[in-house]
Amino acid sequence: MDYLPIFMNIKGQPCLIVGGGAVAARKADLFIKAGAKVTVIAPLLKEEMQRHLQLGKIEWIEAGFDRELMCALPKPKLVISATDEQAVNEAVYEYCRQQQIEVNVADQTEYCDFILPAIIEREPMTVAVSTGGRSPVLARVMKARLESLLPQGLSAVTDLVGRYRNAVKKTLQDAENRKRFWEKLLDSTFIDKASRLESSGEAEAILQQKLQAARLEEQDGLNEVGEVYLIGAGPGDPELMTFKALRLLQQADVVVYDRLVSTEILDMARREAERIYVGKKDKWHRVPQSRINRMLLELAQQGKKVARLKGGDPYIFGRGAEEVELLAEHGIDFQVVPGITAAAGCTAYADFPLTHRDYAHSVSFVTGHQKEGDQAIDYARLAQSGDTMVFYMGVKNAAEIQQGLLAHGVSPQMPAAIIERGTRLDQKVTVVTLAELAGTIRRQKIQPPALLVIGEVVTVREKLHALKRQALERQAKRADIERSDRQEEPWTRLAV
């Protein structure tokens, strides 16, 4: 360990910054946030430091660093030197060493008694990341990754946990049981609910419920009930998973997943997690929906954290509501994590929008997979709406969709896109007219998963591609000119 990680209380303590530039201002900002009395020594202040001065957050001594000046000031607790003049930085370092004052010279670890880490703030929680001064950029990259894993509302979580600390200590007599209680609570839906103001009451109820369960477990050996995360895995590209989805997936004991969930996404789960496939395919249902609903309930009742991974978004043609109804009926905690639905993801990757001010101001999501007894698609409304029409699971019924729209007045020349394996590396986009739609699917033997998009917005794709081609042609011409110039004979260039 190169440096001892330590959090220092400098509230009300005098601290000194030497330098008035942007780097010095960022260092001063840390002192200010920690509650220090900040003095800045610099001949002039640049914009960021001027802002600190105008807000009354610092005192400014308009001068260069000087030993006699330092003698007239209260002895600082900490000093940071952040100037462009190496001689000044070294003079500050030597003075502080002689006076036994902790000093940091920005970006020069050889002149540092302490270093400042990359900081993630979820006040009162603070997370610090350091590479021992070797690579501040790497520390910032790691900070960014950690930021994605920590909910923004952790301050509320910390406050709520702090209020119940004594109550937990009184309720659970055994220290190991208290430790296990906190670990289970903080590795559950509690954090996500406690971090949001509108569900803080629900979070407190969860805490009380789990504390009661822990008390009974301590007294009678009863098992605690688990919870379920209904997670939208997006349309295929694993990078389209949300931060929250990834965080919950990685804490699940069991992963129940559909056919449309990619292997790359499934691999993001904990290695130890049990994986249960319940995928459905046209005319072949591995597990009936009612059995899936019951399975989620039974797994949670066994005390397990269950991640239910669904392609796209759980509430858009995903039957997610049916799954959580049974959980709610039996008092099982659950969270629904939205995912990027296929319509949004696939069209973006296919280079056209769902709406456009020149073509469509609204969009309709339609299930093209009609079962006997289901309400028929309202083709008349779709034809008159001017919507961009997105048909999920529509490949098998493409002929019926085509016929229904044509029969209600949609132009045979209306653009249509068939997007196969959307957002994945092997995505394929076929643009046709409505009149050609069913025939194209039949001739090319297109199979699910594929999305059908019908509407004028599809023409944006060709416009964008044309603009890209023109830009590449211009770049190629400029490259040819530059190459020609470099190949001119030396005497030609001299003559010019």
Annotated binding site for S-adenosyl-L-methionine: 235, 311-313, 316, 341-342, 393, 422
Radius of gyration for the chain, computed over Cα atoms and rounded to the nearest angstrom: 31
The H-or-E segment that residue 236 falls in is none
Please, are residues 427 and 349 in contact by the beta-carbon 8 Å criterion? yes
Alpha-carbon distance 463 to 456, whole Å?
Answer: 12
Alpha-carbon distance 101 to 122, whole Å?
Answer: 30
Task: Give catalytic status of residue 280 as yes or no.
Answer: yes
Per-residue tokens: 372: 């006997």
Q: Which of 57, 143, 244, 280 is catalytic?
A: 280
Q: Which of 262, 177, 234 is nearest to 211 (CA)?
A: 177
Residue type at position 5: P
Task: Give catalytic status of residue 258 as yes or no.
Answer: yes
C-beta atoms surrounding 315 within 10 Å:
17
Per-residue tokens: 18: 């030497």
Please, are residues 149 and 142 in contact by the beta-carbon 8 Å criterion? no
DSSP secondary-structure letter at 234? B
Residue 416, SS3? strand
Handedness of CA 480, 486, 490, 492 (dihedral sign): positive
Please, are residues 398 and 417 in contact by the beta-carbon 8 Å criterion? no
Alpha-carbon distance 65 to 67, whole Å?
Answer: 7
**Residues annotated in the binding site for NAD(+), as ranges?**
22-23, 43-44
**Residues annotated in the binding site, as ranges?**
22-23, 43-44, 235, 311-313, 316, 341-342, 393, 422
Q: Which of 113, 195, 185 is nearest to 159 (CA)?
A: 195
Q: Which of 29, 192, 237, 258 is catalytic?
A: 258
Per-residue tokens: 316: 């858009």
Write the DSSP assignment of 75-98 as a string of letters. PPSEEEE--S-HHHHHHHHHHHHH
Alpha-carbon distance 68 to 82, whole Å?
Answer: 20
Hey, which residues are catalytic here?
A: 258, 280
